[in-house]
Amino acid sequence: MKVLIGSYKENIYEVEIDNKKDKIVSNNKIIDAVKPSYIMEFNNLSYLYLKDNVQYIKIGDEDLLLTHPAAHISHDNANNVIYVSFYHDGLLKVLSKKNNKWEISETLQYKDNSHIHYAEFIEDINLVGVCDLGDDKFFLYEYSNEHLNLVANYEFEEGVGPRHFVANGNLIYVINELKPSVSILKYKNSSLELVDNIELVDGAGSAIRMTKDKKYLYAAVRFSNYLYAFEVKENGLLNVIQKVHTKGDHPRDFNLIYDDKYLLVANMNSNNLSLFKLNNGRLYLTDHNYQFNAGASIICIK
């Protein structure tokens, strides 16, 4: 397996971890790019980047002009499309492949105060989830006939700021940025309802991840710089089992790597990586002194 990290400033790196010593031992630049702020495993590797201060996406060997500054990308394997979220302009763009080339096939414009931060296909319910951090809404769409069709939406309290999510069955776990918390939404009969909301420490919620076996969930809060570990109960509700400091400043992203053996954190402002080893869901710090410039996006690929 390979661990790749995109920097908020420049370049994409492969990071090597010593499995015996549980330490980060090296990083090697694999791609020259300006601000590859989000990376994903698709067509080998796809990522956002800037060229002459203009936003592009690299998809395999193709470079597609996006124009507006983008925040997140994801690939929908079921429909073979890519969703691009645009925070500043409140847009969601759908990219599809036609005549062997990727192109923008649909653009959704949201409200003036909208900040679309995350969109991803949810396989268990065959719908696309979208977080609007600015307008405090979560949307579900069906992708059919090459269009996104609204199925349901949930409106949070003003100023909550839904940022990212993970899903398990018909339950959707949303991390909120502006009022750090994890909200559990339940999708049933074409509607969404709030099941529970767990408040986190003050700061700004960032990333959220779930183990492959769906037994544990993790959430990060910037500024106060904490990680939360949750046990996922049989009914899908969460039980806090741990709260640990990231040993750095501004955990913009973290990810579970090496088949959930480790959790790796990119502390963007302090320019360091922190490595935790997992044991029954709990986090045990093994390294935090490894320097890395403005880590922003972490993936683990085969």
- What would the pLDDT profile of 110-139 be if each residue is shown by its tens digit? 999 999 999 999 999 999 999 999 999 999
Q: Which residues pair with 287 in a beta bridge?
A: 275
Mapping DSSP to helix (H, G, I), strand (E, B) and coil, where does residue 269 land? coil
Task: Please write the tens of the pLDDT for every residue from 26-63.
Answer: 999 999 999 999 999 999 999 999 999 999 999 999 99
Q: How far is CA 82 from CA 96, 168, 185, in A?
A: 7, 21, 24
The residue-averaged pLDDT of 268-296 equals: 98
Q: Rounded CA gap, 119 and 138, in Å?
A: 10
Instruction: Quickly state the pLDDT bin for 302 (edges 50, 70, 90).
Output: confident
Q: What is the pLDDT of residue 60?
A: 92
Q: What is the pLDDT of residue 239?
A: 98
The residue-averaged pLDDT of 234-249 equals: 98
**Portion of the chain with pLDDT greater than 70, in percent:** 100
The residue-averaged pLDDT of 228-250 equals: 98
The residue-averaged pLDDT of 23-28 equals: 95
First to last CA, the chain: 4
Task: Please write the tens of the pLDDT for every residue from 158-178.
Answer: 999 999 999 999 999 999 999
The residue-averaged pLDDT of 222-243 equals: 98
> Structural domains in the chain?
77-199 (2.130.10.10)
The residue-averaged pLDDT of 278-300 equals: 97
For the chain, the average pLDDT equals: 97
Task: Please write the tens of the pLDDT for every residue from 178-226.
Answer: 999 999 999 999 999 999 999 999 999 999 999 999 999 999 999 999 9
Per-residue burial over 52-90, b = 16 or more CB atoms within 10 Å of its CB, e = otherwise: eeebbbbbeeeebebeebbbbbbbbeebebbbbbbbeeb
Q: Is the pLDDT of residue 299 over 90?
A: yes
CA 28 to chain centre: 23
Q: What is the pLDDT of residue 152?
A: 98
Q: Is the pLDDT of residue 300 over 90?
A: yes
What's the pTM value of the predicted model, to 2 decimals?
0.97
